[in-house]
Structure 1
């Protein structure tokens, strides 16, 4: 990689980090203004700014000056110079810097003569902006002032990181709620259907009671998982890894979906390779994955069709396939299949509802297991196969090997 290419790549990553903070074009905040005021007082300067350097402009988050704007062209901004160095930039007299003489902020009456700026350096090492002070007379900075400006810059970055962590925690919590609510829909549908059958045929109450009991337990388990997750300080998904028997899990799936398939006169076939080893997985999350895929297969397949659940063992990986004879996928469907709220060409065949979250949730859960998922369809009206590859042993190191199996 050439020096020019390296600089472009670093700038792209710097801008990515800047956007991750979600700070551009936001309103003034008291916390940032106090940091700017502290810098102003330390230097006994005339103006102070907290700026963030975008691709072609500089956004001024805190503006303690007579400047009426909240952004300036990056080429005209002196603060954009401060992000070029990890140390505090001090310019005693801008008139002595040839390339600054023609800067609009320097050339105008009462323009900037003294400047000091400390970069706002992210934990990853990207200078996303600067805290700056300036005056219209030449000046200098003491070692103490420079150190204080560096400390203020660090406090500002800590504030940015705290806001970022909070936002990610909220997003993770919302995502967790979406997952839980989505997973509750299937057992609720089973309970509703069982109730309808009992009303039509009271003699079926015994068998339906077991179905309702199983669905209630599944809802309770999902709510318990949600409560445990919400109590944790770190809202990332927690994996409770144990050995899971795929044969046994398939049998439980059949019990859960027997009624839904029966209503559409569908047949669910199970094909498991002999002597399948147990797979190390989070039992609840793996069950959620298979529930989502089988629910989709039933929902989008025609009345009287066959759905196949298959599992085979390939060296260090388990291959699980859910194959249906449904409406299939076109090229556009495949491209957006695993995105949130995806709208596909296929429609439920039994007036079921869909919120577009199921497959995006499924993909996230598969990836938590260091596995991969893909959908294969020869086209519309030719059915779809969802293929999952899961490591038999749950290890982070084998993620790349799994990915290579699909390439």
Structure 2
């Protein structure tokens, strides 16, 4: 079949292809023995002097392995023959480049000792994106055998497998770090409660029974979080398990009140819980729902002024439970809302009582809400006009354990 000049060097899925390429973190890295050995095998299979493992970026070619006299590791995309290869689904072979008009015009072909023989196969990801090539060249025309072609395809799969293994390992590490960050974030509130209870006991011994119960509850919450971390670390990467059970929302609100009354009172704040009698039970992961409300209420206390009023309002709408955490604090501007649920987001609002913030809470909260097929949104009229965080969750969720992806 005669080779036809393509009308464009861009692939049909160019943006997704580039996204996957960047996920590999392979661009602009040093040469590695593993890839160089694969390139060496290509030269031996074809009995050719030069072979390359290349990755096609937006407007350039990055050469990861360069077994040739050429002393560079980058080329313009429009000048590279590899740019033609990623447009194909199979091996591209030019037995003699001078017999193909538009290829003959290529600067690497037309120059002195230019490329006369060229064979390459795309590096195809599991999603079907061609992110690069393995290629072999010679300055003399050549013929290829089916065995050589099959070997080239096999070596290309080995390269992609290597990239995928590295990607999975990196994501596993990132997932473990995320889990540790979540756990560290989640034990901050019970630690603050323990610290505050200790201060009260040291000043007023009559409060020991009440404070002892609070300390016991906070320690239990910390132990639970550490246990969750150990369990999640045993799961496959990026997965969190939901333990679905019937939740009594009234009981959950009472626990929230018990946990946060002291922290709010320290800033002269009041927390009002509004729960209609008709809204009492729904099915979800109790620990995760508790985490969601802990994060939202903790933020409301943290970013509201002294003497502020905070409301937690639950209503039932069209088979869903809607929980609103509303404060009359610092509010949010449009820029804040745009980056509100991203990891380590830095917002214009600042804690009003010298509390610390690592920018993880809302990102974690959003992940837990979405695991329940729910939604979360923030509404604010503007700066210093308060904020409402609204969580909407289905009343019923599958009762058996379910695995879902976790994203930051």
TM-score range, shorter chain: over 0.9
Within a 5 Å distance, the mapping from 1:3-402 to structure 2 comes to 10-276=13-279, 278-394=281-397
Kindly state the Cα deviation for residue 232 of structure 1 after the two structures are TM-superposed. 2.5
Unpaired runs of 5+ residues, structure 1, are 396-407
Q: Which has the higher relative contact order, 1 or 2, with Cα contacts under 8 A spaced 6 or more apart?
A: 2
Size of the aligned set, in residue pairs, is 391
Are 2:175 and 2:237, in contact at CA under 8 Å, matched by a contact in 1?
no
- 1:46-79 per-residue CA deviation (whole Å, 9 max, x = no partner) reads 1010011111111101111111111111111112
Tell me which residue corresponds to 1:399. Answer: none
Are 2:42 and 2:136, in contact at CA under 8 Å, matched by a contact in 1?
yes
Are 1:46 and 1:136, in contact at CA under 8 Å, matched by a contact in 2?
no
- 1:81-125 per-residue CA deviation (whole Å, 9 max, x = no partner) reads 211111111110011111122222112222211111011111111
Higher mean alpha-carbon deviation, 81-90 vs 9-18, is at: 9-18
Q: Alpha carbons of 1:265 and 1:9: their partners in 2 closer, same or farther (altered >3 Å)?
A: farther
Kindly state the Cα deviation for residue 278 of structure 1 after the two structures are TM-superposed. 2.8
Distance (whole Å) between structure 2 residues aligned to residue 388 and residue 305 of structure 1? 22
Instruction: Give RMSD over aligned pairs.
Output: 1.6
Are 1:277 and 1:313, in contact at CA under 8 Å, matched by a contact in 2?
no
Tell me which residue corresponds to 2:4. Answer: none
Distance (whole Å) between structure 1 residues aligned to residue 107 and residue 114 of structure 2? 8
Tell me which residue corresponds to 1:403. Answer: none
Distance (whole Å) between structure 2 residues aligned to residue 243 and residue 46 of structure 1? 69
Are 2:344 and 2:358, in contact at CA under 8 Å, matched by a contact in 1?
yes
TM-score, length basis structure 2: 0.92
Kindly state the Cα deviation for residue 235 of structure 1 after the two structures are TM-superposed. 4.1
Kindly state the Cα deviation for residue 280 of structure 1 after the two structures are TM-superposed. 2.5
Distance (whole Å) between structure 1 residues aligned to residue 336 and residue 237 of structure 2? 35
Unpaired runs of 5+ residues, structure 2, are 1-6, 399-408
Q: Alpha carbons of 1:297 and 1:9: their partners in 2 closer, same or farther (altered >3 Å)?
A: farther
- 1:5-59 per-residue CA deviation (whole Å, 9 max, x = no partner) reads 9x76511221121112121111111111111111111111110100111111111
Distance (whole Å) between structure 2 residues aligned to residue 240 and residue 32 of structure 1? 44
Are 1:317 and 1:390, in contact at CA under 8 Å, matched by a contact in 2?
yes
SS at match of 1:238: strand
Distance (whole Å) between structure 2 residues aligned to residue 296 and residue 271 of structure 1? 19
Which is richer in helix? 1
Distance (whole Å) between structure 2 residues aligned to residue 26 and residue 327 of structure 1? 45
Runs of 4+ in 1 over 6 A off after TM superposition: none
Q: Alpha carbons of 1:260 and 1:218: their partners in 2 closer, same or farther (altered >3 Å)?
A: same
- 1:301-328 per-residue CA deviation (whole Å, 9 max, x = no partner) reads 1222211111111122110110112111
Are 1:293 and 1:322, in contact at CA under 8 Å, matched by a contact in 2?
yes
